[in-house]
Structure 1
Amino acid sequence: MSAASPQSRRPRSGNRRDEAARLAVLHAADDLLVEHGFGALTVEAIARRAGVAKQTIYRWWPSKVEILLDTLIEDSAKRLPVPALEPTAETVRGYLRDFARFLTDDPAGKVLLALVAQAQHDPGTADRLQERYLRPRRDQERDMLTRASAAGEITPALDPDTTLDAVVGPLVYRALTGSDVPPDLVDALAGNLLGPRRG
């Protein structure tokens, strides 16, 4: 599945943010989600952990979902960038291995899984997750596969979106159900679905 483009970011309102307070809120939300889960995560708890007023949080974010999305977008950009420039078969496979580790080992991966789970019964969360994170990241991933295919690095039998769904889907499912995501599963999916390098 790099971060959402500036155009997809939620418009900001209210007073200019204090960067230290903003980061404290994002880190607090991330930590509390991992510790207690989405259902127990409240703006009040985030405010207490971050050491800011609840009113300050509501001036900057309308909901805990938007806080988590900001956390996810920023952390993904740093720790799970989509390969740019001219991707090779190995960089594509490396990205998929990194994605599997992100889902199982990174606190931001837990944020992604929590939002995916919440999106199943909350249309508002589903819309915001698609708009702010999944769709911009999918655009970058699709471009990665398209460029790698055009360069002869991979020869997928399916179109880029279907290929991504077929590779990423099992990884997300295993992570959502609490199973590990072994590297050999990632390699098998990539080998079967991306195809061999031409030439």
Structure 2
Amino acid sequence: MATADEGGGSRAGRPGRPRSESRRAAILSAAGDLMMEGGLRAATMEAIAARAGVSKATVYKWWPSRGAVALEGFVRRAAGCWTPPAGAGAVQSLRFLVVAAVRLFTTTPAGPLMRSLAADAQSDPEIARALREQWLGPRRAVAAEVIRRGMREGELRAGLDVEATLDLLFAPVYYRLLLGHAPLTEEFAAACVDQLMAGVRAVPAETGGEARP
């Protein structure tokens, strides 16, 4: 008689992938919801498994730790704000990404959650690693490709230090988010991008081949 396993499907040959993917999606959805509702403290392995309707062993099959699954669930919930408009140029795309980050942090529970995660990461290597790998890494990769495309297409100056440009783009957002010394607004984010772009845009050549001052 066929028996079901935690990976989905049965051991008698029935395809397991759809069921496995369904369970994985349910776990990520549960983790994301719990993170948005109560932060990392609420997203325990027990709570995630219970809400997803699976065992803790099933969760551990895909993620090595609570921090990893919780961050991935949160990232999945926030994924929509990291897709620039189709056909947008590099400058427009970068402005979109920075402003979208501010909108996420100021109009959803993601702002307080990010402050809590950043604080916890100082003393918890697991959370610090998950934050870098699940949150910062993928988002920096998206923006980095926009910068490289801008250089290739002549919209941005050639030879930019991509990593430094990324820090200059997003650091003001996290600075105000974490320290709260001034309001974090979309207008502020757009102004930061515009000022940075004034320095990194490609300079059109005047007639005769000389660059504008």
Q: Is TM-score (shorter-chain normalized) higher than 0.5? A: yes
**Contact kept in structure 1, 2:35 and 2:74, CA below 8 Å:** no
The Cα of 1:56 is off from its aligned counterpart by 2.4
Q: 1:58 to 1:146 in 2, by over 3 A?
A: closer
**Contact kept in structure 2, 1:86 and 1:147, CA below 8 Å:** no
What pairs with 1:50-69 in structure 2 (closer than 5 Å)? 50-69=52-71
* Larger deviation, residues 95-104 vs 156-165: 156-165
Structure 1 regions of 5+ residues with no counterpart? 1-13
TM-score scaled by structure 1?
0.72
Q: 1:142 to 1:183 in 2, by over 3 A?
A: same
**Contact kept in structure 2, 1:157 and 1:195, CA below 8 Å:** no
Whole-Å separation in 2 of the counterparts to 1:156 and 1:183: 28
Whole-Å separation in 2 of the counterparts to 1:109 and 1:22: 26
Whole-Å separation in 1 of the counterparts to 2:32 and 2:78: 13
Identical positions, percent = 36
TM-score scaled by structure 2?
0.68
- Which amino acid in the other structure matches residue 182 of structure 1? T
What pairs with 1:111-126 in structure 2 (closer than 5 Å)? 114-126=116-128
**Contact kept in structure 1, 2:49 and 2:59, CA below 8 Å:** yes
Q: 1:83 to 1:36 in 2, by over 3 A?
A: same
Q: 1:38 to 1:75 in 2, by over 3 A?
A: closer
Structure 2 residue corresponding to 1:194, chosen from 194, 197, 210: 197
Structure of greater Rg: 2
Whole-Å separation in 1 of the counterparts to 2:158 and 2:85: 18
* Larger deviation, residues 185-194 vs 145-154: 145-154
Q: 1:40 to 1:23 in 2, by over 3 A?
A: same
What's the Cα RMSD here?
3.3
Partner residue, 2:172: 170
What pairs with 1:28-177 in structure 2 (closer than 5 Å)? 28-81=30-83, 87-106=89-108, 114-155=116-157, 159-177=161-179
The Cα of 1:41 is off from its aligned counterpart by 2.9
Whole-Å separation in 1 of the counterparts to 2:148 and 2:134: 22
Q: 1:138 to 1:79 in 2, by over 3 A?
A: closer
- SS for the counterpart of 1:38 is helix
Partner residue, 1:4: none
- SS for the counterpart of 1:52 is coil
The Cα of 1:168 is off from its aligned counterpart by 0.7
Deviations 1:128-152 (A, max 9, x none): 3334442343233222113224434
Whole-Å separation in 2 of the counterparts to 1:72 and 1:21: 17
Structure 2 residue corresponding to 1:15, chosen from 7, 10, 13: 7
Aligned residues: 186
**Contact kept in structure 1, 2:102 and 2:173, CA below 8 Å:** yes
The Cα of 1:187 is off from its aligned counterpart by 1.6
- Which amino acid in the other structure matches residue 62 of structure 2? W
